[in-house]
Amino acid sequence: MNAVYIMCHRQVKEFFRNKQRLFVSLVQPILFLVAFGFGLGNSFSNSNGINYISYLLPGIVGMTIMMSSVMSGMSLIWDKKFGFLKETLVAPVSRTSLLFGRCLGGAATSTIQGIFVLFFGYFMGFRIQNWAMFPLIIIAMFFVALLFNLLGTSLASKFDDMQSFPSVMNLLMMPMMFLSNAFFLPDNFPLFLQFIVKINPFNYCVNILRFLMSGIESNLWLSTSVIIGLIIIIGIIGTFLFKKIEV
Amino acid sequence: MDKIIEVKNLTKKFKDFVAVNNINFDVQEGEIFAFLGPNGAGKSTSIKIMTTILEPTSGEVKINGFDVRKEQNKVRESIGIIFQDSSLDEDLTAYENLYYHAALYRISKRGIKDKINNILDYVGLFDRKDDYVKNFSGGMRRRVEIARGLLHNPKILFLDEPTIGLDVQTRAFLWNNVKKLNAEKNITVFFTSHNLDEAEKIATKIAIIDHGKILIIGTPEEVKEKTKTSSLEEAFLALTGYDIRPEKVDNVDRMRMRREREGGGRR
């Protein structure tokens, strides 16, 4: 348990030390929010009586969390490059605790970024529908962040190269972002793409955030089980991959 | 004396390539053991197996009586390691690097602050303890690593080419302290090096390995006697020949070399 805590502690500490990175990581979601919010706001089909910003903001929060979480796999590659990974691999702790420590720490920092974006939404006219939900919003953000941290870190264990990791991860994340309901209703998609939206796990992350933040109904149990199920599956695969790391 | 390292029929294969080919040797408690060989001889692979980074393909390795395959954490608690290249977290201070190490090795929290301060004082870095490691020179980093490697009171100290790229002062500091620790605390030392003068001066026992096989084992005197040479370097060349060995470079190495060339800071 101690190793999990200490790896987590380190991720959080280094996150707060690097103010520049925090600032840079918020620029992109805020741009998305402003561009989509003002650009598409008027044309959003208002049939359900939902205003666009209530629909959009949870998607942007989800995107912020997904991107920063997957990219936190970079820290593993840094540690390979700078040798610190070796120090942790020869310590008398299990690889599983190293993996989960890193990912819990990364999930905490991604959640903090998600909260920043949530409150930035207030400048755009967003309002949390029910403040009683706030603790649940944080918990949901954290689980989404944990899922994508596990994904990013597990994949990072197979990379040695600082250049290719971010580009491959972008290649993975772009379709997840755009072939989802994060920014718009996918109702006008051709059937084939609608099918992709249905099997896109990010979709379910956005659904749950949207329900908790804006009260927009969706199948809560399905979303929760998809997220928890994937955390378990990717956690198992990640543990396996972590055990195979050789330095 | 007791055997503190036992290696029996150790073999490590990477696909078709046999890096370590059925080697056997023991290290007695309190020895300073030099593991020598040309590039690609199997030194690093062996040390990685002994320090639980790699799993052996076959054979048995016992460190401080514990099996490297079955009792990994017991092995890890028994050993301190100073790697060939830096393994510090540059975004942390010297103190924090040691603090995280203490936590990973489950050293009790009580008195840890004093313990870290004392050991940093011992390596002459107490004044710099709250500076980030990224601002340290190569020699200072090495001293932090020595302090870290000793923090959990290991019974065996592994050093993988520990003096590469160090200035004369840090090199002298390192070997003097290794000898001192060996004499005062009876810490067993296992090291690899390309510097044969160093090895000849420091080691009480030497093994020379090439093409994954151990060619000779003994005290420096015995090695010279058996090969009828007058220095360890001559003995080494007599045994391993004059061919220059190609060195395999993997991705991580390439990345490190690039970093060293560019002198890059992190982020």
Rounded to the nearest 10 degrees, the angle between the axes of helix B168-185 and helix B138-151 is 10
Cβ within 8 Å, pair A92-B53: no
Look at residue A43 and tell me whether its pLDDT is greater than 80.
no
A80 vs B100, B103, B252: nearest CB = B252
- pLDDT at A246 (0 to 100): 80
- pLDDT at A174 (0 to 100): 95
Residue of B73, B91, B159, B256 for testing the chain A interface, max A β-carbons within 10 Å: B91
Distance CA A21, CA A13 (A): 13
Look at residue B201 and tell me whether its pLDDT is greater than 50.
yes
- pLDDT at A159 (0 to 100): 93
Percent of chain B with pLDDT over 90: 67
The values of phi and psi at residue A180, to 5°, are -145, 180
Q: Are A113 and A28 in contact (CB under 8 A)?
A: no
Write the CB contacts of A17 (distance below 8 Å, at least 6 apart in sequence): B91
- pLDDT at B250 (0 to 100): 61
Distance CA B151, CA B98 (A): 8
Chain B residue with CA closest to A3: the answer is B104
Q: Give the distance, in angstroms, between the CA of residue B139 and the centroid of all CA atoms in the same chain.
A: 16
- H or E, element range at A82: helix A74-82
Type of residue numbered A113: Q
- pLDDT at B243 (0 to 100): 79
Q: Which chain B residues are closer than 8 Å to A14 by Cβ?
A: 91-92
Type of residue numbered B179: K
Look at residue B251 and tell me whether its pLDDT is greater than 70.
no
Q: End-to-end CA distance of chain A, in Å?
A: 24
- Mean pLDDT is lowest, of A41-50, A164-173, A207-216, A236-245, for A41-50
Q: Model's pTM, two decimal places?
A: 0.88
B88 vs A13, A84, A89: nearest CB = A84
Type of residue numbered A112: I
Q: Are B240 and B194 in contact (CB under 8 A)?
A: no
pLDDT digits (tens, 9 = 90+) for A72-83: 999 999 999 988
| CB proximity A16 to B under 8 Å | no
- pLDDT at B87 (0 to 100): 92
Cβ within 8 Å, pair B251-A161: yes
- Model confidence at B262, pLDDT cuts 50, 70, 90, reads low
- pLDDT at B10 (0 to 100): 96
- Model confidence at B264, pLDDT cuts 50, 70, 90, reads very low
- B121 to chain A, closest Cα gap in Å: 22
- H or E, element range at B191: strand B188-192
Distance CA B233, CA B222 (A): 14
Dihedral sign from CA coordinates of A126, A131, A133, A138:
positive
Chain A residue with CA closest to B82: the answer is A87
Look at residue B25 and tell me whether its pLDDT is greater than 80.
yes
- pLDDT at A21 (0 to 100): 81
Report ipTM for this prediction.
Answer: 0.87
> Tokens 């290794």 correspond to what residue?
B178
- pLDDT at B247 (0 to 100): 64
In our burial notation (b when 16+ CB lie closer than 10 A, e otherwise), range B3-38 reads: ebbbbeebbbeeeeebbbeebebbbeebbbbbbbbb
- pLDDT at B1 (0 to 100): 58
Ramachandran assignment for A90, one of left (phi > 0), alpha (psi -120 to 50 degrees), beta (any other)? alpha
Cβ within 8 Å, pair A2-B103: yes
> If we measure between CA atoms, which residue out of A171, A225, A181 comes closest to residue A203?
A181
Look at residue B207 and tell me whether its pLDDT is greater than 60.
yes
- pLDDT at B248 (0 to 100): 63
Return the structure tokens found at A207.
């659904």
Return the structure tokens found at B229.
């040479």
- pLDDT at B265 (0 to 100): 45
Enumerate the domain spans of chain A.
Answer: 2-243
Q: Which chain A residues are closer than 8 Å to B100 by Cβ?
A: 6, 10
Look at residue B189 and tell me whether its pLDDT is greater than 90.
yes
pLDDT digits (tens, 9 = 90+) for B1-16: 589 999 999 999 998 8
Look at residue B67 and tell me whether its pLDDT is greater than 90.
yes
Distance CA B231, CA B160 (A): 22
